């Protein structure tokens, strides 16, 4: 019942035999791996599992406020009867993890019962998104402008007379 990665394949262990190990991956595909091919194995669910999230916020945000909001959302979720049994430790902000191109990454860590980390992280992301929206905290994303041809639209617009200036010139001519 453990979730492991062996020979580059991650999945739920269905069988461990003398010659092979059988895993079922997230897509439901069953992989049969010769035990001779296994050089290293990683167990995602031995004893406990970990919530390990990076959440990005905009550069204009008050980080002290953002950290308080994140910790509050984590605490509220960990105290809810529906989710309480999944947690070993309440997730909380560990640090400001990165100053990226479009935002500031905040690292959140906490421990869950084995195999519960994915459900907890999914629900926590949902709650953080809803709370950030309600509190006006920006979640950044990269923006791209695409230009066709040689001209940059803002520069071309600056060269063109505005409608107002064209209308003023016409009314002066008719006077």
Residue-range domain boundaries for the chain: 3-43, 49-135
Average pLDDT (79-98) is 97
pLDDT above 90 (res 9): yes
What CATH number belongs to 49-135?
Answer: 3.30.70.100
The closest of 87, 128, 85 to 111, measured between CA atoms, is 87
Q: What is the pLDDT of residues 48-83, one digit of tens each?
A: 999 999 999 999 999 999 999 999 999 999 999 999
| Residues comprising the chain, all counted | 175
The fold adopted by the segment(s) 3-43 is SH3 type barrels. (2.30.30)
Chain Cα centroid distance, residue 101: 15
| Rounded CA separation 103/101 (Å) | 6
What is this structure's pTM? Answer: 0.73
Contact 109/92 with Cβ under 8 angstroms?
yes
Residue 147 pLDDT level (bands cut at 50, 70, 90): confident
Q: How confident is the model at residue 142 (pLDDT cuts 50, 70, 90)?
A: confident
Q: Give the pLDDT band of residue 140 (cuts 50, 70, 90).
A: very high
């Amino acid at each position: 019942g453990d979730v492991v990665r062996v020979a580059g394949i991650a999945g739920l262990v269905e069988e461990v035999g003398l010659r092979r190990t059988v895993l079922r991956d997230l897509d439901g595909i069953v992989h049969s791996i010769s035990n001779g091919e296994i050089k290293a194995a990683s167990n995602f669910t031995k004893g406990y599992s970990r919530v390990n999230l990076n959440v990005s916020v905009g550069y204009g945000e008050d980080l002290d406020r953002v950290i308080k909001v994140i910790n509050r959302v984590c605490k509220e979720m960990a105290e809810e009867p529906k989710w309480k049994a999944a947690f070993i430790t309440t997730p909380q902000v560990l640090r400001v993890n990165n100053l990226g191109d479009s935002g500031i990454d905040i690292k959140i860590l906490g421990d869950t019962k084995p195999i519960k980390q994915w459900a907890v992280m999914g629900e926590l992301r949902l709650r953080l998104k809803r709370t950030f929206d309600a509190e006006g905290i920006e979640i950044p994303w990269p923006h791209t402008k695409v230009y066709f041809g040689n001209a940059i639209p803002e520069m071309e617009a600056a060269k063109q007379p505005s409608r107002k200036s064209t209308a003023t010139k016409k009314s002066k001519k008719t006077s």
